[in-house]
Amino acid sequence: MLRTSGRPFPALWLARLLVFLTASALLTEDALCQQGAVTASHPLHAVVVNAGRAMVERYVHRGLYYGHHNPGTETTPWYNSTQLVGLGWDPMYVRKQGDGGGSDAVLLIRRRKGEPEAAEGAKLGCHLLYFHGNNQNLMGATETLADFEREVGCEVWAVEYTGYGPMDGGPRGVPSEQALASDAMAAASWLLSHAGRDVPVFLYGHSLGAALAIEAAASIAARPTREGDARLAGLVLEAPFLTAIKTVVDYDDEDEFGAALQSLGSQFPMFNSTIAGLTSSFLEPIDKFENEDRVAALPPSLPVLVAHATNDKVIPHDHGEALFELITSDSKTSVFLESEAHALHSDEGRIGEQFFHALRDFVSENAGAEAEAVEEEAKAGNFDWEGLGRRQRPKISTARGAARGQQRSELWESLLLGGRSVARANSISSVAIPEDLRIRPVGEMLSQLNG
């Protein structure tokens, strides 16, 4: 509830005003465009473009930080740090350096010493820092962390993001690219400073977490080496994406973006000339986590593992393949498995076993530990072990590429036209978007307001 002159001013009236002004600007500009009276330099053009961009950016935020906007679920439960202690984890707050946005400290957890599981995470003498996905928080990730302890043999740490919890008496904050990047860097920097001289540390990111792992690794590589620090031994990216918006529509692909605009224009014929004139510059300024550019800052000496399910229903598999191609590491490995799982590490069947075999091999090789036991275990698995560690990017068939482009086109149309959750299956949100978060066509909103 907003207040003006000491009296309550309902937010609904403000929303009505904004909708009316936006619709009026669109209608006026489009009418003038058809008369040749409005050019790209016309003031109304900027109004319309900025209003549309703000609307899209709002819904990108809702999808990208889905767990923040939808707390209290099975994967994003309300919690406080003392509950983590009850589950055998040690919470600690690490102070962030500079103005990174969000709070001034970040929550980091590890298994409490003396717990039976702590021994599982000490087999290889390494540390693994885990960055979770957009629809999870630390409390919802504790089982995942236990799996990594048991399956990988490193001491596992995990970091919480601004806006995701816990509820320890202060505000959770609002997530942003800057705030989360600051969270990631603070956690990684602290661990490298405290793990021990030359002790191997791995950064592991899943989905949204992959973007944070990339950012932390790139930032660490850019700073001077510090005496006594641990060694950044490897980077693991599970189900990564090129950029946030490109998981929905590839605005750099002329054909795909053009088809999306054509579909949108057919739904709003009165705005058609405005929509048809949009270019990639409409979306590019508001895109988030541009991993396709950021991986260029990764040092060639850093070993990288990219893992992705070939039929991932959340982030298209070709994002993982393309990112693998862009990474210039001297030692990079791709693990692309036939599965629909967005989280290969959560698969309880054969696919999960294959994934963890490949992960153990990557970690043991780059941690400097003896890998004979891991290799023997892999051989006993009776699967194509050699095929898991592919050193070259597999080709994407024309049919698959066309189908993926069509899927993204449908996602884009649904995002802007108010489609239901079925079209969000491959998007940046891993869970269906609730009805109250749908974008509704302007005509629909106006009819409801006038009614």
| Residue with the larger pLDDT of the pair 178 and 47 | 178
State phi, psi for 335 to the nearest 5 degrees: -125, 95
Distance CA 186, CA 100 (A): 10
pTM of the model: 0.76
108-134 per-position pLDDT tens digit:
999 887 777 666 657 788 999 999 999
CB 374 within 8 A of CB 361: yes
Nearest Cα to Cα of residue 302 among 370, 221, 224: 221
- Average pLDDT of the chain is 76
> With bands split at pLDDT 50, 70 and 90, how would you rate the model's confidence at 42?
low
* Cα dihedral 279/280/286/287 (nearest 10): 160
pLDDT for residue 328 is more than 90: yes
Query: What are the tokens at 388?
Result: 């898991």
Tell me whether residue 150 is exposed, middle or buried, using C-beta atoms within 10 angstroms of its C-beta: 0 to 12, 13 to 18, 19 or more.
Answer: middle
Q: What percent of the chain has pLDDT over 70?
A: 67
Sheet with strand 200-206: strands edge to edge: 89-95, 105-111, 155-159, 127-131, 200-206, 231-238, 304-309, 332-337
Q: Which residue has the tokens 């400097």?
A: 368
Q: What is the pLDDT of residue 305?
A: 97
Distance CA 44, CA 153 (A): 60
Residue 76 has a CB neighbour count (10 Å cut-off) of 25
Q: What is the pLDDT of residue 373?
A: 45
| Residue with the larger pLDDT of the pair 142 and 102 | 142
Nearest Cα to Cα of residue 75 among 431, 351, 315: 431
Q: Which residue has the tokens 């994002």?
A: 319
Distance CA 434, CA 300 (A): 43
Distance CA 162, CA 159 (A): 10
Q: What percent of the chain has pLDDT over 90?
A: 46
175-179, 211-215, 405-409, 445-449: which has the highest mean pLDDT? Answer: 211-215
First to last CA, the chain: 22
Q: What is the pLDDT of residue 124?
A: 81
387-436 per-position pLDDT tens digit:
333 333 333 333 334 444 454 444 444 444 433 333 333 333 333 333 33
